[in-house]
Amino acid sequence: MNIRDYWPISTEELSIPTWEKMLTMRLQTFQGFANIEKDRGFIQPKIHIHTSQGQEVIRMLCFRFLEEVGEAFESGEDDHYYEELIDAFNYIVSILLLAGEVPTDLAAKLTSVCIVLQSETARSMEKDLTPASIGWMTISLGAKLGDSLRNRAWMNNSQNTFVDLDLFEFLLPIFSFIICLFPDFKTFYSYFVAKDSVLQFRLRSKY
């Protein structure tokens, strides 16, 4: 079972492309997988960003994001390319959902982002996945975000794990870039819904 079994999505599914619907779907699907992973010591269904464990989950999700971006870069087919970009987007948005963003509030922020992305300025943005753009995202997540996360797993002394960072504002350029790699929002939405259907099938079938 893969994305080709669900894409293109039906006209009915495409008729209501809202961020709130997408984020609610993502939260439900991600928590389904997180409830499986938590018993194996990996992703947790809920985290607190100001704890050591929560910060390690964020690091794990950042690596998974970069892994999917790399797979998209190496893909030779449009369907596979867009599927991997959706996987990457899902991991990065899950950081916000796990850190406490409510789908309704996050949807309002992302709706504003999409309005900005339709502007003349945004149309001039780089819209190719290149080694340079992957390097920029790697440095942003691995160095800048990583340095903001205060947990040091090796440290014996007590640590102050408070994170003084607006995660949404920090991740906004990456969100915007990933969305701009799609021809338009409807294409982005259609691949998102199709991939969510694949993931829901995997949960139901205990894949």
| Burial label, 37 (beta-carbon count in 10 A; 0-12, 13-18, 19+) | middle
What are the domain boundaries of the chain? Answer: 18-152+159-205
- CATH 1.10.4010, domain 18-152+159-205, yes or no: yes
Residue 67: pLDDT above 90?
A: yes
Alpha helices in the chain (DSSP H): 11-14, 19-37, 52-74, 78-98, 103-117, 120-123, 131-139, 146-148, 167-180, 185-205
Residue 158 pLDDT exceeds 50? yes
List, for residues 33-64, the tens digit of each pLDDT value. Answer: 999 898 888 888 887 777 778 788 888 899 99
What is the CA angle 57-165-27, rounded to 5? 45
168: tokens are: 């949404």
- Return the pLDDT at 70: 96
pLDDT tops 90 at residue 87: yes
pLDDT per residue over 88-142, tens digit each? 999 999 988 888 888 888 888 888 776 656 554 444 455 689 999 899 999 888 8
pLDDT band at 155 (very low <50, low <70, confident <90, very high): low
Tokens of 164: 């003084």
Burial 166-176 (b: 16+ CB within 10 A, else e): ebbeebeebbb
Interhelix angle for 103-117 vs 19-37, to 10°? 130
Contacts of 197 (CB under 8 A, 6+ apart): 6, 9
In this prediction, residue 84 carries a pLDDT of 96
Residue 29: what pLDDT? 94
Asked if 68 contacts 141 with a C-beta cutoff of 8 angstroms, the reply is: no
**157 or 78, greater pLDDT:** 78
